[in-house]
Structure 1
Amino acid sequence: MIEKLKSIKEKFHEVEASIYQPDIINDIKIYSALNKEYKKLSKIVALYDSYELILNNIKEAKEVLNNEKEEEFRELAKQELTVALEKKTEMEEALRNALIPNDPNDSRNIVLEIRAGIGGDEAAIFTGDLFRMYKRFAEKMKWDFSVVDTLEGTAGGCKEIICTITGEDVYGHMKYESGVHRVQRVPATETQGRIHTSAASVVVLLEAGDVEVKLDLNDVRKDTFCSSGPGGQSVNTTYSAIRLTHIPTGLVVSCQDGKSQIKNYEKALKVLRSRLYDMEVKKQQEAIGMERKSMVKSGNRGDKIRTYNFPQGRATDHRIGYTEHNLNAILDGAILDMIEALRIADNAQKLQTGEI
């Protein structure tokens, strides 16, 4: 591990020297790539520097114990050695996690789909709550969040909502959110004060590019229709909404978010490509038997991954048994700590199973 860290530190200094060269600064594409690598390496180098400092403290404490006769100094050295050895163990664990290679897909953008499950009107309201939670989380992460299509619930919320999220390491954070989310609370529609259990499914799809999906537009039927719902005077008067049907698979994607038919078409096409890409990836994984059965990243639509319990004010992720008692903050987008706990558990599993 030490040799690898030394190599990373050398690479860091090379990148640091290159990034301020005038020809690099003037090339936005190269500068952006180097700057991204610089940020990534700087975190590991900072950990390594702290680790080297701890090793030096251990060495000095041991020298005092070997050479010092005065009992008072020896006692201080013993205390410092005990603390330094504990920190050394912690730092080694942190460095092992930092050296775990990222999933190459972590930096990619996503299509997010949220659908109401069991629970009727309450499930639709909960779907709306999850939509707001992810929207607020995206704002905190400084990501771009765009709605593609919504199907509103009869008593509020949404029966279905599709969005795109773009930004830094979007998939790396959001990949843990796929699965069934469950809520336990007294619905606004409940007259007897009984606690109900409702659910919504979350699907996180990698945003696919033109290269990854060979989509023949001759296989896609395009229909236009009038938008419905909020939108001002143009609603129900202009055919700006788009419905795309992929004839070979039967996949249907709609977009009526904007007033521009062209922009709605581009958004719908993006979602269609992502769904086709997801289907292709799953076929490949099944064919070569490489799909990892991870408790953390299972993300199947039938997997109950998290419960939001209002009477107890808690949110529990069932994959790792992680609970937070700040439900209101979580539903306001404060889910980074939970996602970080899932990431750490996922990395620990990878190390244990020898995947990395």
Structure 2
Amino acid sequence: MIDKLDKIIENFNNIEARLLSGCINVNERAELGKSRSDLEGLVEVALRYKKMLSDKDDLLMVLQDKEQDDDFKNLVQEELYGLDAKIEEAVYNLKLLMLPKDKDAHKNVILEIRAGTGGEEAALFASVLFRMYMKLAERQRWKFEIISISETGIGGYKEASASISGNGVFSKMKYESGVHRVQRVPETESSGRIHTSAATVAVLPEPEEVDVKIEEKDLRIDSFRASGAGGQHVNKTDSAVRITHKPSGIVVSQQDSKSQHKNKAMAMKILRSKLYEMQSQKNEDERSSMRRSQVGSGDRSERIRTYNYPQSRITDHRVNFTLHSIMEVTQEGSLEQLIEKLIQDEQVRLLSESE
């Protein structure tokens, strides 16, 4: 490990030297700055680890010194025990920091939620999930921008989507993709019988323009009049936009803004995310389930998490972890404990695979 750490430290020092040299352009400076940021935490722990190894060698030399008295050696031995524990912790942290990084971890996301099995109750649950993630974004100080919402008559959502941007959004939100199941007594249920319904969540990393190349010739862009609420504007202005990507067959429509330009920009953002998802599915086996396999059909049996209202219980089935604070999670977006548990589980799995 020492040889590997020495190379990382050397690389970090070279990056710092180049940043200080002034002989680089703006793009190189941005790229080097990101590399420095990615390595900074690892290098800090590596230097501390190497210092502890050096301190351990010094203590061992004291123990081997026949001229030292036994009382002093006992104190040194106690210090050595404490140092060994710190070294063991540093080794574990170094292994975590040296795990392969998710190339999408820093990306913003497109969030899509759809009502699954369960009719109107599933649509109401979809609206609960959407607001839950809106609250989570507030807690994390992320920007939550609604893209579109298709409502039902009593406040449920057939489907809803949003753009979430901020620090490390995908690294935390990626665990939310899948089928979320709810068990509760619907307000319309007079007999008090518990119903089970489901909603699907898809979290797509929002790619940079350089990640996905879209040729103008591959697009068909149609404008049309928006449907639904909107008063006179709906009747007079062809502001809605439909973009068809001919090679893939993907069709994206956007009509929430009164500006055709804004609708087109948002539709292109969604299209880029969907194309990036397709590329990821082809290029990486482990990402092959980005939406279709992660989300499944919306059937009750395909679930990653269950929200049981009568028992105030939320269980994540992937890590067999349960919280008894359903209102805090769904109404306040308090998902941090669940997310941290999922991150830890992934780290353990990656560590076992690397050994």
Using structure 1 for the length normalisation, give the TM-score.
Answer: 0.80
Amino acid at match of 1:123: A
Specify every segment of 5 or more residues in structure 1 that has no aligned partner in the other structure, as ranges.
none
Instruction: Map 1:1-356 onto structure 2 (within 5 A).
Output: 1-20=1-20, 28-67=26-65, 68-71=68-71, 73-208=72-207, 209=209, 212-215=212-215, 220=220, 222-229=222-229, 234=233, 238-246=237-245, 251-282=250-281, 284-285=282-283, 291-292=285-286, 300-302=294-296, 303-331=302-330, 332-354=332-354
* Distance (Å, rounded) in 1 between the aligned partners of 2:253 and 2:288: 33
CA contact (8 A) 2:212 2:275 kept: no
CA contact (8 A) 1:226 1:237 kept: no
Amino acid at match of 1:291: D
Give the CA deviation at 1:116: 0.9
Give the CA deviation at 1:342: 2.6
Match of 1:304, SS state, is coil
Match of 1:106, SS state, is coil
CA contact (8 A) 1:180 1:304 kept: yes
* Distance (Å, rounded) in 1 between the aligned partners of 2:321 and 2:241: 41
Match of 2:274, SS state, is helix
Using structure 2 for the length normalisation, give the TM-score.
Answer: 0.81
* Deviations 1:301-340, CA, capped at 9 Å, x for gaps: 1242122333444433222223344444433334344334
Query: Residues 36 and 66 of structure 1: is their aligned pair in 2 closer, same or farther, counting only changes over 3 Å?
Result: same
* Distance (Å, rounded) in 2 between the aligned partners of 1:317 and 1:100: 24
CA contact (8 A) 2:104 2:171 kept: yes
Query: Residues 320 and 69 of structure 1: is their aligned pair in 2 closer, same or farther, counting only changes over 3 Å?
Result: same
* Deviations 1:84-103, CA, capped at 9 Å, x for gaps: 32232222111011011213
% identical aligned pairs: 40
Give the CA deviation at 1:267: 1.0
* Distance (Å, rounded) in 2 between the aligned partners of 1:255 and 1:194: 39
Query: Residues 223 and 180 of structure 1: is their aligned pair in 2 closer, same or farther, counting only changes over 3 Å?
Result: same
Specify every segment of 5 or more residues in structure 2 that has no aligned partner in the other structure, as ranges.
297-301
Amino acid at match of 2:294: N
* Distance (Å, rounded) in 1 between the aligned partners of 2:269 and 2:119: 30
Root mean square deviation of aligned Cα:
3.5
* Deviations 1:333-353, CA, capped at 9 Å, x for gaps: 343443343334324323433
* Deviations 1:33-64, CA, capped at 9 Å, x for gaps: 33322222221122223323433454454445
CA contact (8 A) 1:180 1:202 kept: yes
Amino acid at match of 2:42: I
Which has the larger displacement, 183-192 or 241-250?
Answer: 241-250
Query: Residues 294 and 266 of structure 1: is their aligned pair in 2 closer, same or farther, counting only changes over 3 Å?
Result: closer
Give the CA deviation at 1:264: 0.6
CA contact (8 A) 1:176 1:296 kept: no
